[in-house]
Every structure is written in structure tokens, then in C-alpha cells.
Structure 1
């Protein structure tokens, strides 16, 4: 069942859409339905709950529909359907990766199509992520490699008003999210994993780490092979890696094959 949010500053529009969704709720395709009366309330509601589908009016006070999705983290963003009386936002909705764009008054057939797309988007989310990782990995393999250098044994990372020196063997993984490189460190015998934001790229870090122990498992992540505790089969020959401390990272298909060879699986 899809958990749904209806965000519209016009109460009659929210009520009409809710009535149209009720038969789908009775059939079990739609679960809980919540409402938000403006963009600010929509953002707060989406950030505090796990929704599968959000119907966002384009023009709302406080934040418009596009402002709402711009402020959502990837983890909190459900499938988005824009609802509006205006057709000039269709291109922008496409660029925002909305699954549909419904003009008011919304017809039953168009609404059914949007629900079907949301169901498929929910079912295929993991597979689409896996495919994206493979695509990015292919792009990275086409880049010219950096010249090899002597592997580092230690490196310094900024922490408030000082620099902390960490050993290479304490590095669990490094990942890039939204253009920021995050370094995950856990010293031997410790139970807490520390995260540090570092001012260098994964390419630069990969060129300095000992490749006997570290491996690029997709374009945006490096892991220390010695810190892998589990390899969980994922989609189409890929693996989800569980590191010390429970951190999970997904390997692309090509890197999963390479990792299996390195570990003689």
C-alpha cells in the first residue's frame, strides 16, 4: 500500500483528491492519507514520516511545490506528482524527476495512471539505484587513472579547530554525498565509527591508499576490504557490503565480480 500526502492550500482541492483516492484505499492499493495546507507543512510532514507518494500543488504559500522537493533529503523524498491548474510548469516538473503532472480538475483516468507509476517507482527503487551505480561506475572506469604513489600510513583530517591524525588501517570507507567526501574511521578495539568531512576527492584518496587493502566499489565509494564483515547478494550479481559497525555500502555489478575474485569466492 502507498502512504500518501496531499499538499494543497485549497481545502476543496484536497477534499476532492481524497475522495478520488478512497476507492483505491478500499482496494488496498492506497494506505494512510495525510494532508498539508501549505508548502511549509508539506515539508515538515514529509521529513517526519515515510511516504511513498506526494501530490504537491505547484503554487502554495510559504514554499511552492518545487521548493518542497528541493529541501527534501533523498531518503525523505517519495514519488512526486505535481497538481496544478497551470501547464507552464510541466518541463520543470520533468526536470525535477516528478513521476506525473496532473492538471486540475484531475480526471480519474489520469489519476489512475499516476498511481500506477508510483507503484512501479516504489517497486523498482532499489533496482534503479543499482543501475545508476553501474552507470556511474562505467563513467569512472573511462577516466584516466591517477599516477601511482607510495601508499600512505596516516593522514590528517580537519576537526573543528584542529587536525586529527588517523591511521590508514582505521579507515572503514570513504563516500561522496552531494559533492562532499565523508571519511568513516574506526580504530581497532573501538565500538564507535567517526565520520569526518575531508577536503579531498575520492580519486586523490584512492591514489594514496594501499590498493592491496582498499578498493573502489563504485564511483562514489571506497572500502577497506579487511573491514568487510558480510556480503549480501543484491540485484543482478551485485552485493551489499556490511562493514565493521554495521555500515552498508552497495557495490556495482562489475566491482562485485572483482571483489569476489579478490576474496576467492
Structure 2
């Protein structure tokens, strides 16, 4: 008996939510987007981001002093059979970090959801909180970094730690996913290695981000391929300076929807 106990190998400890290896260990084990969306908010793998998101929830903006902030990682949002994905950067400290839903409660989200509504991909033009009745049609919105970062700037290490969540999300979307609209250079650079790892073939040299960039990535597994489209991020600065106008955003979303096969969305084009 003592020999058996001596020779028995201890079971490897699985990383907990506060360990840097938690996303890499947990994400591949999730069998559905519902499971993924439930698991992401438990993550505490990046200490700097945990501290910042929780500090923002304590030191609230005056306009939101009565809010009970979400203050956790913000999961993606949209149907599990989406043909089009939209990839941003990270939640805003007093936007998604407050409301618990990506691109909700901040100026960038106001512009994005209005454009989605205008091209028939969202049920309403204005969104304020989880449970406000919003539905997305054939579209899922997600992020390469799920926690609000200081100054909206995640570090490369934080981006890489969070990457397994995005990788698993796209893998689960793979059967129906046909196009991705990427909002900003950070999301573009974060997404490319994920797509390559998932079996979509990147050209050499790798495609460079730019508004209006468009590339078809062949599928090494024999699928129909994936269209990748670049769009400036609908940040306050980009919108106020006219670098990105609502019309430009609508045009890119409309192109993405057409390439994804969403030619007849439930809501008619309003612009």
C-alpha cells in the first residue's frame, strides 16, 4: 500500500480564475457560446486589469453614481449562429464595464448600434443596459481583451493572456461565420494570429489594417473562406474629427453583411 501511494503521481492543479494560465486552460473545454459567455466573467488572470475595472466601479462618474457596475470581464454578444462578427478593442471603464454588455453605455457604442440598426442588423438604434430588449440579427460582437484597460490600452501580455477566449469564440462560430469587420488596428493585429491558429490561411505579407481593407482568407479545412474587413474604430476622437463618419461605418457594415450572406436581414435598410 505504501509503495502504491509512493508511486502515485499527484494530479496536476488546474489554474484558477486568478492564474495567468486560466483562459488557456478553461476556454478550449467550453462546448458552446453559452458556456463561454458564462465563463468569461469569472476570469481574474490579469491583475492590472482587475484592479482598474474594480476601481472604476468604486470611483464612479457622477452621471452613473446610482449604477451597480458590472466590473467583470465583458463577454461577447449576439446569436450563436452568427454569419458576421464585429471585433473591437476592449470595454470602456464606464461603458461595458458598467453595463456588462459590449459597446453599451459609451459614445462608441452609440455610434455602432445606431449604424447596425440603420443597416438592419439590430432591433433598435439606442442601447443602454443588459436586458434593454436589443437583438442582433446574424451578428456577434466581441473583443480581443474582455476587461476595461487603463487609458484604453491593454498591454501585449494582457492581449495574449486573453486570446484563448477569442480563439474559442471564433472556433464555436466557425460553422456559420463568413465575414469579420474589425474596428481598429489593435483588434486587427490581435485577431490575425487567432485566425491563423484556427485554420484560416493568411497571405504573406500579412494583410495591413486600414479603413476599407478587405481580404478573403482561404480555409485550410476546405470551407468557404472568411472575409476580413477593416474599419476605423468608432471612438469619440475618430467620429468628432470626421475620420470615421456614420455613413462610412454603415457602408462597411453593409458590405460585411452582404459578404456574410445577410442580404435580407429582418429589418429593412433605413438609410
Task: Give the structure, 1 or 2, with the largest relative contact order (CA under 8 Å, sep 6 or more).
Answer: 2
Q: More strand by proportion, 1 or 2? A: 1
| TM-based fold match above 0.5 | no
Q: TM-score range by the shorter chain?
A: under 0.3
TM-score (norm 2): 0.25
TM-score, with structure 1 as normaliser: 0.25
